[in-house]
Structure 1
């Protein structure tokens, strides 16, 4: 299944902004919401096309409240995410899955509530064996109060890198145990 993860702008509370407005609440009503990272919401869709369609439906809200919209498509990579523009070009057939991995943004993952990034425990793995993905938070999706369950990690300081020889440079902006890789279009990499 394709997944969509929306990372909220630091100046707002994404869950409140999306679920307090009728149009976005209705667009998300048919999905099970999870909160894999701090100030984020994620859903599972059936395809890249459905993911892009949902993002298009939410575009007004994305412009105002979302810092990053990510798409995870296991047929492209079982570990790396796609930016919204790259997912759109993939859906439109402008680029093939094998041509999506050169330009990347790597986020450090830091445990929520920790002042430093050192930790003895790892995030939960999802049922498809991924160590870091949009399901690394609470699997229940909804907490007892009817809100979306809490995350265990936050994304910190992205590092823009270019894959050379099949390898990504190591993340070195912070001391973190894990990272999240997002594949980008060339235009996003060098604006």
Structure 2
């Protein structure tokens, strides 16, 4: 009897829409459509677009490729890497800092942005600090940099 096949750990990207239909805006632009063409896109929340990549570095590179569009059409870009956390997301600046070696994965701090999940969509976020118990079922927990918390 053979052992069950365990799928490889993947890094996820979640783009949070702004005041527009994010999927339409990204896929209607040729450069963004090409950058996203190799990914299976999903909508885990009605105002988001998500995909999986092979690594934190690949996720950050994709976000850099999409930067022009993200600035205009997205309110946030999040990354979840299983080597850091299975339940908490990273802000784009924190993911970049980890990828660049400026922050160690185990030392990401204790500042958070919390997106409540309301009626299948991400609602306006709030901020928190400390080692709180978060409701991962009803909110998307995002680790952020101290600068993002203060800014």
SS at 1:55 equivalent: helix
Q: Give the gaps of 5 or more residues in structure 1.
A: 112-152, 172-176
Match of 2:129 in 1: 162
Q: How far is the alpha carbon of 1:15 from its aligned partner? A: 0.8
| Residues matched between the structures, number | 142
Q: How far is the alpha carbon of 1:178 from its aligned partner? A: 1.0
Matches within 5 A, 1:132-171: 153-163=120-130, 167-168=131-132
Contact residue 35 and residue 41 of structure 1 kept, 8 A: yes
Return structure 1 stretches of 4+ with deviation > 4 angstroms.
none
Contact residue 162 and residue 169 of structure 1 kept, 8 A: no
Match of 1:178 in 2: 138
Larger fraction in helix: 2
Residues 156/21 of structure 1: CA separation in 2 closer, same or farther (3 Å cut): same
TM-score by length of structure 1 reads: 0.71
The one of 1, 14, 17 equivalent to 1:5 is 14
Q: Give the gaps of 5 or more residues in structure 2.
A: 1-9
Q: How far is the alpha carbon of 1:169 from its aligned partner? A: 6.1
SS at 1:98 equivalent: coil
Contact residue 88 and residue 140 of structure 2 kept, 8 A: yes
Comparing both chains, which one has the higher relative contact order based on Cα–Cα distances under 8 Å and sequence gaps of 6 or more? 1
Match of 2:4 in 1: none
Aligned CA RMSD, in angstroms, stands at 1.6
Aligned partners of 1:184 and 1:89: how far apart in 2?
11
Q: How far is the alpha carbon of 1:101 from its aligned partner? A: 3.9
Aligned partners of 2:134 and 2:143: how far apart in 1?
15
Q: Does 1:103 align with 2:67?
A: no
TM-score by length of structure 2 reads: 0.89
